[in-house]
Amino acid sequence: MGLKILGIETSCDETAVGVVEDGHRLLSNIVSSQVELHSPYGGVVPEVASRQHIRDMAPAVEKALADSGLNLSEIDVVAATYGPGLAGALLTGLNTAKALSFSLGKPLVGVNHLEGHIYASWLTRAGDDSPADSPGFPLACLVASGGHTDLILMEQHGSYRLVGRTRDDAAGEAFDKAARILGLGFPGGPEIQRVSQGATAGTLPPLPRAWMRDTLDFSFSGVKTALLHLAQAQGVYPPDATPDSAEPGRAEMDELIGEMAANFQESLVEVMVVKTLEMARRYGVKGIILGGGVTANARLRAEITRASALPVIIPPPVLCTDNGAMIAACAYFQYRRGEQFGLELDIDPALPLG
């Protein structure tokens, strides 16, 4: 009889609930996305997100339980993200978890969202096959999402050192802004990936890479500005509000957009791969873990796997983007090491890791 944890994630724009047994066995994973709601604004509107979380929460919990084949009374621990993230959004998930914990008389665990992204790599990898056993600690973690681009040294379960971070835009934020410049949809990362896949190398110059050689920090705002200038020079920006595939010159314009998107993606991927490998070398780690929405990127996944001599663990794309299962997986290890959380636990929108 394993320990069954219900994990709730509402730090941004997904209302997500998952049930996980013993920190690795995925029993269910429900993600209600608000993408369509925020899409007209080209980004997440915090107040809209909070209100939608309230609407989607109870159905998501019910569906996650139904999919897991368990009753509420069979859940051993209730977990939720308590930071970092949007305050109003975090509140809905944490308060739901508190209410469940109180009414069921089951322990509550508060989870750091970034730590959750790391533990997505434990899902489906059991026993000796878990990253803690194979390849084993220490591990280099790249967490790249809409709000973070962090290089984290994981020395043990629960022991982290932040050794690199973005000094301006997060990688996901840069992808989202680049997509807006190119007139593509939201969220930008998957759109940039999609139009890059069909792109052919033309005559455009490559976009710059911010190496900042002596540090493991990142900077992505310069390449975004370079893209904007190039898009303006090429007549791609401001984008056509109502693109029509029959209009003369549209096919050429789409080709140009594809090439720019591919060049942008290449710049971000190359810097993330090189810096992650540099960190792995400096700290003598045994393996590399990727997590966060940006690590769903096919080009990043292929490139780091190709370039690394060390084992690279990357969750399937659905577990890279925000989900409740990763919160439940992480909570298992916190619970096992005796971390205690009472009902006085509050959200912390700027919660650090390490």
**Site track 7-36 with ligand KG4 (rule: CB under 6 A), x = hit:** -----x------------------------
The angle subtended at Cα 109 by Cα 57 and Cα 312, nearest 5°, is 90
Whether 318 and 291 have beta carbons less than 8 Å apart is answered as no
The nearest distance, CB 224 to Zn ion, in angstroms, is 20
Q: Per DSSP, what are the bridge partners of residue 79?
A: 7, 109
Q: What is the largest CA-CA distance in the chain?
A: 66
Measure CA 70 to chain center: 28
> Nearest to residue 327, comparing CAs of 141, 33, 93, 142?
93
- Quick one: which segment of 120-128, 149-157, 184-192, 215-223 binds ligand KG4 (CB under 6 A)? 184-192
- Quick one: which segment of 92-100, 145-153, 188-196, 332-340 binds Zn ion (CB under 5 A)? 145-153
> Nearest to residue 147, comparing CAs of 166, 160, 132?
166
Residue 145 binding ligand KG4, by CB under 6 A: yes
- Quick one: which segment of 21-29, 103-111, 168-176, 229-237 binds ligand KG4 (CB under 6 A)? 168-176
Residue 115 binding Zn ion, by CB under 5 A: no
Residue 259 binding ligand KG4, by CB under 6 A: no
Candidates 10, 112, 145, 276: give the one binding Zn ion (CB under 5 A).
145
Whether 30 and 324 have beta carbons less than 8 Å apart is answered as yes
Start-to-end C-alpha separation, the chain: 33
Residue 259 binding Zn ion, by CB under 5 A: no
The nearest distance, CB 119 to Zn ion, in angstroms, is 12
Radius of gyration of the chain (CA): 21
Residue 176 binding ligand KG4, by CB under 6 A: yes
Question: Which one of ligand KG4, Zn ion, none interacts with residue 110, CB within 5 to 8 A by kind?
Answer: none
What residues contact residue 79 under an 8 Å CB cut-off, 6+ apart? 5, 6, 7, 8, 97, 108, 109, 110, 111, 327, 328, 330, 331
Residue 295 binding Zn ion, by CB under 5 A: no
Q: Which residue is nearest to Zn ion (CB)?
A: 145
Separation CA 15–CA 53 (nearest Å): 6
Helix (H) or strand (E) holding 179: helix 171-181
Residue 322 binding ligand KG4, by CB under 6 A: yes
Candidates 18, 83, 146, 324: give the one binding ligand KG4 (CB under 6 A).
146
Residue 189 binding ligand KG4, by CB under 6 A: yes
Candidates 52, 219, 297, 334: give the one binding ligand KG4 (CB under 6 A).
297
* 208: preceding bond cis by omega (within 30 degrees): no
Residue type, 310: L
DSSP, collapsed to helix, strand or coil, labels residue 313 as strand
Residue 115 binding ligand KG4, by CB under 6 A: no
Residue 322 binding Zn ion, by CB under 5 A: yes
Residue 34 binding Zn ion, by CB under 5 A: no
Residues that bind Zn ion (CB under 5 A): 145, 322
Residues that bind ligand KG4 (CB under 6 A): 12, 145-147, 172, 175-176, 187-190, 193, 292-294, 296-297, 321-322
